[in-house]
Amino acid sequence: MSVIKNKKATTAAALCLAVVLFFCSCGIYKGDDEKSEKQLFAMDTVIELTSYGKNSEAALEKVAEKIKELEKELSTTEENSAVNKINTANGKAVAVSGNVLVPLRASLDISEKSGGALDVTVYPVVKAWGFISKDYRVPEEIELMRLLDKVNYKNITVGDTGVVVPSGVEIDLGSVAKGYASQVVCEMLKESGVEGAVVSLGGNVQTVGRKPDGSKWRVAICDPDNPDGGITGTLTVGEAAVVTSGGYQRFFERDGKKYHHIIDPSTGNPADSGLKSVTIVCPDGTYADGLSTALFVLGLEKAMDYHEKYGGFEAVFVSDDGTVTVTDGLKDSFAPS
Ligand code: ADP
Ligand code: MG
């Protein structure tokens, strides 16, 4: 790993949601193909779609529709969503599509490998803090303990076509849903024959192919201390998902203390593992999303152990003291600001 001591981000970038894309100023596109762009709001975030090549406009229309479909299926709050059916089935089996099974299996795999740092059954705790209703509150310790009784991903049974969760257990695919959506739409864009594309769902970025001039994409990592314009550094990637989780993305303040939306399932409190953000670079969007949440909960040391043991991804960690740590595979592609 490489450690950059107390590196303070200084460069102010124009747009910064959580991860920002740079289309290099030198990359002047000389081909005949079209560039298409589309913006929409779905899955509780701003979604930006960019595609190059023939069929781009039609492909982005289909992609936007697909994202809205996935939102309806995976939302915890939509009455008829598959997830809501699972959560209200009182222990009965619910038949669901691959759009639930694939992200759920990925999430459970990461749960197992991370010792439960990622746990889709933490939803009742997330609700208790008000992150779903946006009616924020600090729950009493005793309330958290009672809710944690039902939190355990091992309570979920996943079959070939359906899911069972015991009565009182509720799931939330929020930690992997945007990454799964970006994976699905990038596969659609590839199939439709576009030459290059970038999808950005809040902090989740995923790319297809190359930039029109043949060069790689540059993705900026948001400075957790200055998310409205600062950047910690940039990553140069080919086809990859680049996903950031951080305590700065969604939080509220009470009595001068900040409470964010990534919960440590072992305590019921917002994770406090010494990290401000974790960025994952991985070929698969769903895993990138699940891992960014899981490793944020684990903290740097355990996250590095996870990386060493299982691999399959690279990461950039920003610690509470501003130190930036990069896994070896990103040594040549990460440029600090
Ligand atoms: P975001 O979706 O805001 O980009 P994440 O991918 O890190 O951020 O997912 C955070 C969301 O996942 C929370 O809003 C909550 O719904 C859910 N969540 C919070 N903590 C956990 C956890 N430890 N395991 C699984 N899901 C979690
Ligand atoms: Mg995530």
Q: Which residues of the chain have pLDDT under 70?
A: 2, 4-33
Q: What pLDDT does 19 receive? A: 44
Give the helix/strand (H/E) hosting 243: strand 241-246
pLDDT score for 226: 94
Q: Is 161 left (phi over 0), alpha (psi -120 to 50) or beta?
A: alpha
Q: Where are the beta strands (DSSP E) in 43-79?
A: 45-52
Mutate which of 75, 125, 175 for ligand 1 pocket (most atoms within 8 A of beta carbon): 175
- Which residue's CA is the nearest one to ligand 1's atom 5? 175
pLDDT value of residue 28: 33
pLDDT at 30: 39
What pLDDT does 4 receive? 66
Question: Which CATH number is 4-336 given?
Answer: 3.10.520.10
pLDDT tens-digit profile of 147-172? 999 999 999 999 999 999 999 999 99
CA distance 91 to 43: 27
Q: Dihedral (C-alpha) 224, 229, 234, 240: value to the nearest 10 degrees?
A: 80
**Which tokens is 76 given?**
């915890």
Task: Look up residue 170 and give its two tokens.
Answer: 């509720």
Query: Cα(280) to centroid of ligand 2, in Å?
Result: 10
pLDDT at position 24 is 31
Centre of ligand 2 from the C-alpha of residue 108, in Å? 13
Q: Which residues line ligand 1 (CB under 6 A)?
A: 118-120, 122, 126, 131, 172, 174-175, 178, 202-203, 245, 249-250, 261-263, 265, 289, 292-293, 297
Domain assignments of the chain as residue spans, ordered by start: 4-336
Select from 163, 262, 200 the least CA-distant residue to 37: 200
The whole-number pLDDT of residue 214 equals 95
